[in-house]
Amino acid sequence: MPAYIVRRVLISIGVLFVASFLLYLAVASSGDPLASLKARPGITQSAIDATARSLGLDQPVVVRWWNWLTGVLTGDWGTSVALGQAQAPVFSTVMHALWVTIRLVVIAEVLALLVGGAVGAIAALRQYSVTDYVATTLAFVLFSMPVFCIAIILKTYGIQFNLLLIDLGGERWLTTAGPPDGGFTGSPGHMFFTFTGTYLLPTIALAAISFAAYSRFQRASMLEVMRQDYVRTARAKGLSERQVVLRHALRNALLPVTTYFAYNFGAVFGGAIVTEQVFGWNGMGSLLVRSIQQYDPNMLMGWLLVTATIVVLFNLFADIAYSYLDPRIRLG
């Protein structure tokens, strides 16, 4: 097992090395971060050159990538090359964005896993019933919807709901501008009010898509398990249906879903990109879009390092969890 982990981590580092090179080259050669400066009227060539030199843009792309790489290995993530960013340090910018996104994603994913798991299991136990058809149709419709459309609908009608609240003499509840900078303050009641108002809509938007996947997965796995011999044995030895389902079937059916959860977690960061855009959260998604549009390879590399680490860790975790939960699986 330790040998397996070490091998996987080493492979991931190698892969990340290649990925960083390719992405750095792609984003650095796809456009000029100084374009808006050069378009400014009355700007002199020497001023442009000076800015380019101070940002390191006068060097060839490969050299810039090498400088970035040696910097990262000594713990320096570099600074942004985008004009508006005023050489913002990459590390603290990325960490700030990560903290914003991770809170949103974790809440949404856990919620989706719990609800999706429960709905999938019930749908499987009552296969071809009305419940099953409703759950299946819902999952299909959610699957077929772009994530951002759910977000847009929630946001628009959330704002209208706010207006309704204000009309009734209430307070604005649902916010669409990310978590407050100073954290949640005030009385516990007020904190709960602002917390739910901030998280409710983006969490639903993110959880909806994952819910569809988890409920389908759980349903398939539960159907598979209910056909197994040990479930028949459990019934035959006179256990109540409740015990058969909860003790014998559900516990085994959870296995593939939990590992899928771990594999999926990295991909959820992708879904969060668009949801964040719609709800105005300044997280990893906005950071990614901004660094691509501003041709800012250093910032993009910071984003890549964090995202890749999360993906690799969760995949590793999924493999280990699988081999631990199902002793028949051997890692090698």
Residues lying near another protein in the complex (CB under 8 A): 11-12, 15-16, 18-19, 23, 26-27, 29-31, 140-141, 143-149, 152-153, 156, 159-160, 266-267, 269-270, 273-274, 277, 288-289, 292-293, 300, 303-304, 307-308, 311-312, 315
Question: With respect to another protein, which residue has the nearer C-beta, 54 or 160?
Answer: 160
Minimum Å gap between C-beta 141 and another protein is: 7
Q: At 205, which amino acid appears?
A: A
Least Cβ distance, residue 308 to another protein (angstroms): 4
DSSP code string of 240-270: -HHHIIIIIIIHHHHHHHHHHHHHHHHHHHH
Angle at 297 between CA 293 and CA 303, to 5 degrees: 90
- Closest CB to another protein among residues 207, 287: 287
Nearest approach, Cβ of residue 289 and another protein (Å): 6
Conformational region of residue 144, where left means phi above 0, alpha means psi within -120 to 50, and beta covers everything else? alpha
Closer to another protein by Cβ: residue 17 or 192? 17
Of residues 136 and 239, the one with the C-beta less far from another protein: 136
- Identify residue 10 by its one-letter amino acid code: L
Q: How far is the CB of 282 from another protein (least distance, A)?
A: 14
Q: What span, in angstroms and rounded, lies between the C-alpha atoms of 282 and 287? A: 7
> Which residue number, 244 or 300, has a Cβ lying nearer to another protein?
300
Shortest distance (Å) from residue 132 CB to another protein:
13
Q: What angle do CA 5, 8, 9 make, to 5 degrees?
A: 85
Shortest spacing between CB 152 and another protein, in angstroms: 5
Q: Please give the Cα distance from 106 to 186 (Å, whole number).
A: 24
Q: Find how far residue 288's CA is from the centre of its chain.
A: 12
**Cα 66–chain centre separation:** 29
Query: Given the complex with another protein, which of 12 and 218 has the nearer CB atom?
Result: 12
d(CA 251, CA 248): 6
Q: What is the DSSP letter of 287?
A: H
